[in-house]
Chains A and B, each alone.
Chain A
Amino acid sequence: MQAPRDFWHFDKDISGCGVFGVIDRARRLIPGSEPIAAMCTMHDRGNGLGGGFAAYGIYPDRADWYAFHLMCDDRDALERAEGVIKQFHDIRHSEPIPTRKVASVKNPPVVWRYFVTPKSNRPAWATGDEADYMVGTVMHINTRVPGVFVFSSGKDMGAFKGVGFPEDIADFFRLDEYHAHMWTGHNRFPTNTPGWWGGAHPFTLLDWAIVHNGEISSYGINKRYLCQHGYECTLMTDTEVVAYLIDLLIRKHGLTKREASWVFAPPFWDEVDRMPEAEREAFKALRMVYGPALLNGPFAILVTDSNGMMGLNDRVKLRPLVVAEKGDRVFMSSEESSIREVCRDLDRVWAPKAGQPVIIDYLPQGGAA
């Protein structure tokens, strides 16, 4: 894809943050109150300019349909977006996302959700698979339809985010009324952009959701690399590149989560040089081919999808990340205190090493809990 004109004028936002994630490997439901309480303890990691949550397993009755969450400047923008969605998809269900008025959440956008399936008689030019088609729709709306932003597009999952502290955003979206088998939460401390609802975390694409604490100093090349592969970065924040890179590396190029983590935080050359030959060649190739996708700079990220959660630090661990286990529950957080807040008695607590991914998958369905 050709780079947009003046691609170098896109700004990225810099922010410090707090992240929290919890997964029940046996898919038992966790009430929204739990991640909300955890995020509350990390109140000081944000400054009220962004908070958000992602929840998996919240739409069991509509699990076969893609859930589009939209934020729109006004009703006209929503109208325009609906026109586009209708053009490419069958709308199975449509409703406003339930909210309540919260004093601290000022001027919220119009938020709406559509449950859709791609049209069976897709246009002849739509050659990719269904996922490509969905990504195409999201990209089209986000870049070409003014005043509208799709902030969630997966199946049986949803992102909820906005400008405010995470507890305020949770209150606004009534997240205490949801139950999910996996949650992530994010508290944001942006330092250079006015709060924008779309700029809050998590960032999502299909059923991928990313929450991120850190600054991606390699953003300038990551975004150009993504552009070559047809992803246009428009959200003015560095976390966006993680979502798109995950989609490119895992969905399109068929890497595993672990291999993708080696792209994001590769082992140092002196370690690679000591590997047995076949392994060394594989790691060299990853680095040579995906060097522009390396995420350089401090980060702790939680990547979730319908298979589970991955936590990852940068290759020199410049951001905190703590992991804890209790039975089938696994917690990942910027601070141990937030985990202890919701689960005092833990089986195991550890801080993963720099660049070492922690990959937690759901137990096979129907298997032992």
Chain B
Amino acid sequence: MHVKPISQHFNDFVIERERARCINCEVCVRQCSYEAHFWDEARQFVVHDSARCVGCHRCAAMCPTSCLTIRKKPSDFRDNSLWTSTYIKHIFKQADTGGVLLSGMGNPQPKPIYWDNMLLDASQVTNPSIDPLREPMELRTFLGAKPDAVDFIHTPEGPRLKQPLPPQLQLEYPIMFAAMSFGAINFNLHVAMARAATQLGICYNTGEGGLHPDLYQYGANTIVQVASGRFGVHKDYLNAGAAVEIKVGQGAKPGIGGHLPGEKIDEEVSRTRMVPQGSDAISPAPHHDIYSIEDLLQLIYAIKESTRYRVPVAVKIAAVHNAPAIASGIVRAGADIVVIDGFRGGTGAAPTMIRDNVGIPIELALASVDNRLRDEGIRNHASLVVAGGVRCSADVVKAIALGADAVYIGTAALVAVGCTLCGRCYTGKCPWGIATNAAQLKKRQNPDVAAQRMANLVRAWGHEIQEMLGGMGLNSIESLRGNRDKLRGVGLNEVELNVLGIKHAGL
């Protein structure tokens, strides 16, 4: 009997192999980067160790005879509504190692999901619903600061602008690929995001990992991010994109920085990030040049200066308690786009306690930020983008009806290329070839196929958004934006309805 630490006795999953169907082809052995499957030399067949299984389902998906089933391990502890197995296992792990609990992907806790408590409207009789297959249905969206009024010179040929508008990001869908750094996910997926965004006429965000030289050609559809570690930031980088985003916070881990383990930093990542190969890349918790709002203003204008005011500057914060006041400050500091990332937002690695307990739901933050900016008369001065837990096109429609200009999708884009949310991104062993830079794993993502899948997803959502818009009797997305009459709450209390600014269904 081999001795294992206590935590490993209580593994989460169990691998079931239908012996009669297994042909010992060893596909599972090669696919599982956690080495849960292996060849038993003595007995001359494939065996497995369920304790190593992370529940990614790669082996089951690839098994040519479908002989593998991954189940949750049924060995339940005695019922206890306080001491659930999650907390017991946490303690076992920490007692083993003395370390901070780590997690990947977004907060999985059973906290309220307000998207599911909001319902959309549709036209009946008094206004006709519009069929997007036969009528134009416009989703085009512009992100950036807008003046309060248009200043025209009236000429015989028609109105002409006295001066051009501030720079705008033009999107053909109100959807963008969220910041996921090169390093956290691999180069193939960055190529895929860049190509999909270009195909779709939207943007993807580089995240904090810099921009690989091969991707400069997709600059018109790229948002380059500047985060606290300043990895990969230089003048050409700032000028390579269609917008610059200053990342102050992330929904999955508000208030703390980032940590890309050295294992994920290969030669290309090292070159792009401008950090030594194999050494951890640690982003500090705050920007050390932003200790207050006036410092943010300086950074915004430093970036505007260095990009010659050609591109909009976004500021991304995590949805925290005081988000409306912070957002107002950000707009007044000169940001053209405010990005709010909710507590469901994904991550490659975050301390579990922070991911699961810090921040607030994006729906509530969005509603109050939009109200606040309107009440202050500055909603026009910046666009509002939300991120963190957008799962489907209906979530997008609800976000826009609450007041968002556009949404970022991160997790959804990864699911499109195979991610099953096993949440072990920080190990660098992602068997789906996503959150890994290991050569034999990342080649599992073909950039062309991945780009097509991501583009398919956004197109599919686009069709659905058009159908929902048409159903409401609208033919352009700006008539939905902030139009909370189109939403009703179900199963929400009065405080929640007041924060969301919507009526209950039936009213």
Please report the C-alpha to C-alpha distance between residue A268 and residue B157 in the assembled complex, in whole angstroms.
20
Are A15 and B482 CB-contacts (below 8 A) given A228-B379, A289-B147, A296-B475?
A: no
Q: How far is the CB of A72 from chain B (nearest CB, A)?
A: 30
- Residues in chain B near residue A292, CB distance under 8 A: 478, 481-482
A278 at the interface (CB under 8 A from B): yes
Binds A, one of B41-49, B130-138, B460-468: B130-138
**Residue on A with the closest CB to B146?**
A289
Assess the A255–B472 pair: CB atoms within 8 A: no
B213 at the interface (CB under 8 A from A): no
Please report the C-alpha to C-alpha distance between residue A285 and residue B380 in the assembled complex, in whole angstroms.
13
Please report the C-alpha to C-alpha distance between residue A38 and residue B5 in the assembled complex, in whole angstroms.
90
Interface size grouping (class) on chain A: 35 or more
- Residues in chain A near residue B161, CB distance under 8 A: 278, 281-282, 285
Are A282 and B160 CB-contacts (below 8 A) given A221-B479, A227-B374?
A: yes
- Residues in chain B near residue A269, CB distance under 8 A: 136, 138, 140
A120 at the interface (CB under 8 A from B): no
Please report the C-alpha to C-alpha distance between residue A285 and residue B170 in the assembled complex, in whole angstroms.
12
Set A218, A227, A259: member contacting B479, Cβ < 8 A = A218
Are A285 and B136 CB-contacts (below 8 A) given A16-B126, A221-B479, A298-B127?
A: no
Assess the A221–B483 pair: CB atoms within 8 A: yes
Are A282 and B159 CB-contacts (below 8 A) given A296-B476, A298-B128, A316-B130?
A: yes
A106 at the interface (CB under 8 A from B): no
**Residue on A with the closest CB to B477?**
A291
Interface residues of A in 188-238 (CB under 8 A from B): 191, 214-215, 217-221, 224-225, 227-229
Assess the B374–A281 pair: CB atoms within 8 A: no
Q: Mark A281-323, 1 if CB is under 8 A from B, else 0.
A: 1101111111110101110000000000000000110100000
- Residues in chain B near residue A282, CB distance under 8 A: 152, 158-161
Set A220, A268, A270, A296: member contacting B482, Cβ < 8 A = A220
Q: How far is the CB of A358 from chain B (nearest CB, A)?
A: 18
A14 at the interface (CB under 8 A from B): yes
Interface residues of A in 255-284 (CB under 8 A from B): 255-256, 259, 266, 268-270, 278-279, 281-282, 284
Assess the B473–A217 pair: CB atoms within 8 A: yes
Assess the A224–B374 pair: CB atoms within 8 A: yes
Set B165, B475, B501: member contacting A8, Cβ < 8 A = B501
Are A290 and B126 CB-contacts (below 8 A) given A2-B375, A3-B371, A217-B473?
A: no
Are A15 and B475 CB-contacts (below 8 A) given A6-B498, A269-B138?
A: no
Q: How far is the CB of B463 from chain A (nearest CB, A)?
A: 17
Please report the C-alpha to C-alpha distance between residue A290 and residue B374 in the assembled complex, in whole angstroms.
14
**Residue on B with the closest CB to A295?**
B479
Assess the B150–A14 pair: CB atoms within 8 A: no
- Residues in chain A near residue B138, CB distance under 8 A: 268-269
Please report the C-alpha to C-alpha distance between residue A70 and residue B201 in the assembled complex, in whole angstroms.
54
B13 at the interface (CB under 8 A from A): no
A348 at the interface (CB under 8 A from B): no
Assess the B474–A253 pair: CB atoms within 8 A: no
Please report the C-alpha to C-alpha distance between residue A300 and residue B148 in the assembled complex, in whole angstroms.
27
**Residue on B with the closest CB to A190?**
B126
How many chain B residues touch the partner (CB < 8 A)? 50
Q: Mark B484-503, 1 if CB is under 8 A from A, else 0.
A: 11100000000000100111
Please report the C-alpha to C-alpha distance between residue A292 and residue B384 in the assembled complex, in whole angstroms.
14
B112 at the interface (CB under 8 A from A): no
Assess the A270–B128 pair: CB atoms within 8 A: no
Q: How far is the CB of A279 from chain B (nearest CB, A)?
A: 6
Assess the B126–A8 pair: CB atoms within 8 A: no
B393 at the interface (CB under 8 A from A): no
A344 at the interface (CB under 8 A from B): no
B149 at the interface (CB under 8 A from A): yes
A144 at the interface (CB under 8 A from B): no
Assess the B375–A215 pair: CB atoms within 8 A: no
A350 at the interface (CB under 8 A from B): no
Please report the C-alpha to C-alpha distance between residue A7 and residue B371 in the assembled complex, in whole angstroms.
10
Please report the C-alpha to C-alpha distance between residue A269 and residue B157 in the assembled complex, in whole angstroms.
20
Q: How far is the CB of B139 from chain A (nearest CB, A)?
A: 9
- Residues in chain A near residue B157, CB distance under 8 A: 278-279
Assess the B374–A297 pair: CB atoms within 8 A: no
Please report the C-alpha to C-alpha distance between residue A290 and residue B165 in the assembled complex, in whole angstroms.
13
- Residues in chain B near residue A291, CB distance under 8 A: 476, 478-479, 481
- Residues in chain A near residue B479, CB distance under 8 A: 217-218, 221, 291, 294, 296-297
Interface residues of B in 432-488 (CB under 8 A from A): 472-476, 478-486
Set B125, B152, B377, B481: member contacting A255, Cβ < 8 A = B152
Please report the C-alpha to C-alpha distance between residue A292 and residue B146 in the assembled complex, in whole angstroms.
12
Set A217, A228, A296: member contacting B377, Cβ < 8 A = A228
A186 at the interface (CB under 8 A from B): no
- Residues in chain B near residue A286, CB distance under 8 A: 150, 159
Q: How far is the CB of A10 from chain B (nearest CB, A)?
A: 9
- Residues in chain B near residue A255, CB distance under 8 A: 150, 152
Q: How far is the CB of B60 from chain A (nearest CB, A)?
A: 45
Assess the A220–B473 pair: CB atoms within 8 A: no
Set B125, B158, B486: member contacting A279, Cβ < 8 A = B158
**Residue on B with the closest CB to A288?**
B142
Assess the A221–B481 pair: CB atoms within 8 A: yes
- Residues in chain A near residue B140, CB distance under 8 A: 269
- Residues in chain B near residue A221, CB distance under 8 A: 478-483
Assess the B128–A256 pair: CB atoms within 8 A: no
Please report the C-alpha to C-alpha distance between residue A14 and residue B121 in the assembled complex, in whole angstroms.
14
A45 at the interface (CB under 8 A from B): no
Please report the C-alpha to C-alpha distance between residue A252 and residue B151 in the assembled complex, in whole angstroms.
12
Set B123, B150, B158, B484: member contacting A289, Cβ < 8 A = B150
Please report the C-alpha to C-alpha distance between residue A11 and residue B473 in the assembled complex, in whole angstroms.
18
Are A297 and B159 CB-contacts (below 8 A) given A221-B483, A288-B165, A290-B150?
A: no
Please report the C-alpha to C-alpha distance between residue A160 and residue B138 in the assembled complex, in whole angstroms.
39
B154 at the interface (CB under 8 A from A): yes
- Residues in chain A near residue B371, CB distance under 8 A: 3
**Residue on A with the closest CB to B142?**
A288
Q: How far is the CB of A272 from chain B (nearest CB, A)?
A: 9
**Residue on A with the closest CB to B472?**
A217
Q: Mark B369-411, 1 if CB is under 8 A from A, else 0.
A: 0010011010110000000000000000000000000000000
Assess the A7–B159 pair: CB atoms within 8 A: no
**Residue on B with the closest CB to A316?**
B135
B186 at the interface (CB under 8 A from A): no
Assess the B150–A12 pair: CB atoms within 8 A: no
The list of the 9 closest CB pairs from A to B, nearest first, reads A220-B485, A291-B478, A296-B479, A220-B483, A218-B479, A217-B473, A221-B483, A215-B127, A253-B149
Residues of B within 8 A of A (CB): 123, 125-128, 130, 135-136, 138, 140, 142, 146-150, 152, 154, 157-161, 164-165, 168, 371, 374-375, 377, 379-380, 472-476, 478-486, 498, 501-503
Residues of A within 8 A of B (CB): 1-3, 6-9, 12, 14-16, 191, 214-215, 217-221, 224-225, 227-229, 252-256, 259, 266, 268-270, 278-279, 281-282, 284-292, 294, 296-298, 315-316, 318
* Contacts beyond the supplied A217-B472, A220-B484, A254-B152: 6 A-B pairs with Cβ under 8 Å: A3-B374, A270-B136, A282-B152, A288-B168, A292-B482, A297-B474
Mind listing 25 A-B residue pairs with CB under 8 Å? A1-B375, A3-B375, A6-B498, A8-B503, A215-B126, A217-B127, A217-B479, A224-B374, A225-B482, A253-B149, A259-B152, A278-B161, A279-B157, A282-B152, A282-B159, A284-B165, A285-B165, A287-B478, A289-B147, A292-B481, A294-B479, A296-B473, A296-B476, A316-B475, A318-B127
